[in-house]
Each structure stands twice: as structure tokens, then as C-alpha cells.
Amino acid sequence: MRFQSRLRIFGWPLLSVALGPDLAAMEARGVARGVVAIGDVAIGGLALGGVALGIIPIGGLSLGVMAIGGASFGIIALGGLAIGVYAVGGAAIGVYANGGLAIGVHPEGGAVIRLFGR
């Protein structure tokens, strides 16, 4: 399934959807790029997908400013494994970390490993 809106913001489509393989284009996974991107791989402002990259990525593997997902990497990271400045998750690694296993300068949670201080 492929869709891109005609409305563009800063050259990016407002909505881009790319799910599943596209045999005509020889793509094994749908790569969506847009302000709002939904796809197997999603890149955009709000990105929703298995692999999501953007300002607010939500997915299995999320990389961005405020990442939410199974494995999240960002300034603010929320997920099973969260790595960022502010990290919240099952295993959280960051300056401010909160989780079942929290590793950081200011950790809080179940098992705590404090770095660089008391």
C-alpha cells in the first residue's frame, strides 16, 4: 500500500503511507517519508512504523527527539530499552533514568546504577 498527500510542507508530503513490499519498485519494505509518516520504515515529524526516525518516532526501533517504542533512542526516550538524556523504561540509560534497571547520573527505579557521583 502506498499513498502520499498532495499537500506539502517544506517539500515533504503532509501524509505518507508505505506498508508492505512493492514488487514493481523492487522494495522489500515500505519506506514512508513525510510530516506524518506511516510505514514499515517511517521517516518524518511524526513517524509510525517498525523502524521510526523523526521528531516523534513511535515504533519497534525508534530514533529521534522524543522516541517511543521497544528500543528507543532520543533526547527523551520511552520504551522497553530507553537510551537518552531523559530515559524511562524497563531498562533505562541516561542522565536522568527511571526504570526497572536504571543507569545514569540521576537514576531512579528498581535496580539502580549511579554513574559519576554518589
Dump pLDDT digits (tens) for 70-97. Answer: 999 999 999 999 999 999 999 999 999 9
41, 32 Cβ separation under 8 angstroms: yes
Q: How many domains does the chain have?
A: 1
Task: Report the distance separating Cα 111 and Cα 98, nearest Å.
Answer: 10
In which domain, by residue range, is 90 found? 2-114
Dump pLDDT digits (tens) for 21-75. Answer: 888 878 888 999 999 999 999 999 999 999 999 999 999 999 999 999 999 999 9
Q: What is the mean pLDDT of the chain?
A: 94
Higher pLDDT, 25 or 11: 11
What per-residue confidence (pLDDT) applies to 118? 65
